[in-house]
């Protein structure tokens, strides 16, 4: 087990208040996600910047009472701990959109010249004939909440199987 995972597990145990974690729900560049006994998801962040970015997005979603976007469930912020870099949220079922750590509020990310087109090309390649549905999620978040969501990837945008 690497140090990053070991630290995340210790943090999750401390936050949840248990000695043994259940099987993790997921992991990524930003951190690790674990289920809690109260049926919520606890995300432990590796990088403070990603924690603050995701927390701001979830606070914005909560302020706008957003529970879904175009029929895709969005987790609801339950709690957070800025010292531990932990966000606790509800667990959602597919179809869903999760992981707001690469989101920007009110102002879009400034791509290098040609970068935005390359990004959209990658999203198109990842989702194929579902691209327009996924693109509509991006614009719905932008228009409804001022959230620019840049992690449109199959691990974060799930369709009903």
pLDDT of residue 95: 98
Does position 132 have pLDDT exceeding 90, yes or no? yes
Average pLDDT over residues 50-72: 97
Does position 120 have pLDDT exceeding 70, yes or no? yes
Structure confidence at residue 1 as a pLDDT band (50, 70, 90): low
Domain ranges of the chain: 3-158
pLDDT of residue 109: 97
- Contact present, 61 and 77 (Cβ < 8 Å): yes
Rg of the chain over CA atoms, in angstroms? Answer: 16
| Buried/exposed code over 134-154 (b: 16+ C-beta within 10 A; e: otherwise) | beebbebbeeebebbbbbbee
pLDDT of residue 21: 83
pLDDT digits (tens, 9 = 90+) for 19-49: 888 788 988 878 999 999 999 999 999 999 9
pLDDT digits (tens, 9 = 90+) for 73-100: 999 999 999 999 999 999 999 999 999 9
pLDDT of residue 77: 98
pTM reported for the whole predicted model: 0.93
- Contact present, 16 and 34 (Cβ < 8 Å): yes
Percent of the chain with pLDDT over 70: 99
Structure confidence at residue 121 as a pLDDT band (50, 70, 90): very high
**Element (DSSP H or E) covering residue 21:** none
- Indicate the class that CATH gives domain 3-158: alpha beta
What is the rounded CA–CA span in Å between residue 154 and residue 152? 7
């Amino acid at each position: 087990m690497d140090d990053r995972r070991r630290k995340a597990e210790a943090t999750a145990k401390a936050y949840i208040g248990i000695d043994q974690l259940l099987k993790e729900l997921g992991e990524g560049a930003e951190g690790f996600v674990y289920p809690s006994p109260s049926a919520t998801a606890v995300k432990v962040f590796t990088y403070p910047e990603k924690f603050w970015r995701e927390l701001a997005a979830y606070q914005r979603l909560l302020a706008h009472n957003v529970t879904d976007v175009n029929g895709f469930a969005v987790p609801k912020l339950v709690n957070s701990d800025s010292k531990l870099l932990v966000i606790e949220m509800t667990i959602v079922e597919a179809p869903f959109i999760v992981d707001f750590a690469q989101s920007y509020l009110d102002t879009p990310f400034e791509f290098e010249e040609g970068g935005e087109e390359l990004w959209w090309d990658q999203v198109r390649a990842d989702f194929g004939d579902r691209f327009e549905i996924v693109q509509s999620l991006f614009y719905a978040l932008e228009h409804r909440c001022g959230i620019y969501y840049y992690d449109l990837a199959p691990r974060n945008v799930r369709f009903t199987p």
